[in-house]
Amino acid sequence: MKGIQIVVAFAVSLGLIGHASAADLSARPVKAPPPMLTPVYDWTGFYIGANGGWGESRNCWGFVPVAGGVIPDGCSTRSGGVFGGQIGYRWQMGQAVFGLEGQGDWADLKSSRLSLINPAFSTTTKMDAYGLFTGQIGYAWNAALLYLKGGAAVTSNRYDVWTTLGGVGVASATATRWGGALGVGFDYGFTPNWSVGIEYDRLFMGDANNSFSVANPIVAGAQNRISQDVDLLTIHLNYRFGGPVVARY
């Protein structure tokens, strides 16, 4: 009889222990799943790329005679294609993006017109290349970047005078001109390292005096004074060196 009592007491104690353990297990808190990581595009790094598009050069001719003053001789505008490359560096602080860039392009912007001063002659202006050396400041929305740019511009030009009848060249001059550049652009990173964008630039090249290779046939002994402004609209494709996107909570 005593043995049966001992067995019953042992079974009851096991039941109480099991109940307490189950109660302890049910009381444990359930941990929340870890927060999701959101990918964030990082614009920091060196990049290199190619660009191509459209350009328009406006040039106004005038002549500076020995006696002084300027004799205007009309303006001409010509649009054409541009193609080249760029290299630069950007660094991102929060959503602000800063950058430096150098760009060089071949161009085919050539215009001809009849001289207003002496219609026996015509003039031709050709811009065959340009370069930009600019700083950038922008604002990024993850993989989208809107930016402003500004700095120095340089253009390579050739000027010719030729006879209206027969098209015989009688004088020429070449000039490398420096001026200023302002622009705005939008880039989108479609992979961690590749981005594509569109950009508009305005080049302010001012006025410059040039001496022809021979005596000026339009106004004897005069220099030619030519103003130049250039509009550019280009598509850019860049490859950025550096790590992939970073992540944040």
145 in a domain, yes or no? yes
pLDDT of residue 11: 43
Residues 6+ apart with CB under 8 A from 15: none
156 in a domain, yes or no? yes
Number of domains in the chain: 1
3 in a domain, yes or no? no
pTM for the predicted model, two decimal places: 0.80
CA nearest 139: which of 107, 186, 175, 179? 186
CA nearest 223: which of 70, 59, 57? 70
CATH number for the domain including 138? 2.40.160.20
> What backbone torsions phi and psi does residue 16 show, to the nearest 5 degrees?
-65, -40
- HEC secondary structure over 20-70: HHHHHHHCCCCCCCCCCCEEECCCCEEEEEEEEEEEEEEEEEEEECCCCCC
Gap between the Cα atoms of 47 and 207, Å rounded: 34
pLDDT of residue 212: 82
Please name the helix (run of DSSP H) or strand (run of DSSP E) that holds residue 162, with its range, or none. Answer: strand 144-163
pLDDT of residue 7: 42
5 in a domain, yes or no? no
pLDDT of residue 35: 56
Whether the CB-CB separation of 62 and 74 falls below 8 Å is answered with: no
Please give the residue range of the domain that contains residue 46.
Answer: 42-248
36 in a domain, yes or no? no
47 in a domain, yes or no? yes
153 in a domain, yes or no? yes
pLDDT of residue 46: 97
25 in a domain, yes or no? no
pLDDT of residue 67: 82
pLDDT of residue 157: 95
> What backbone torsions phi and psi does residue 27 show, to the nearest 5 degrees?
-85, -10
User: For each of the chain's 249 residues, which pLDDT tens digit applies?
Assistant: 444 454 444 444 445 444 444 445 455 666 666 555 455 899 999 999 999 999 999 999 999 888 888 999 999 999 999 999 999 999 999 999 999 999 999 999 999 999 999 999 999 999 999 999 999 999 999 999 999 999 999 999 999 999 999 999 999 999 999 999 999 999 999 999 999 999 999 999 999 888 887 888 888 878 889 999 999 999 999 999 975 455 444
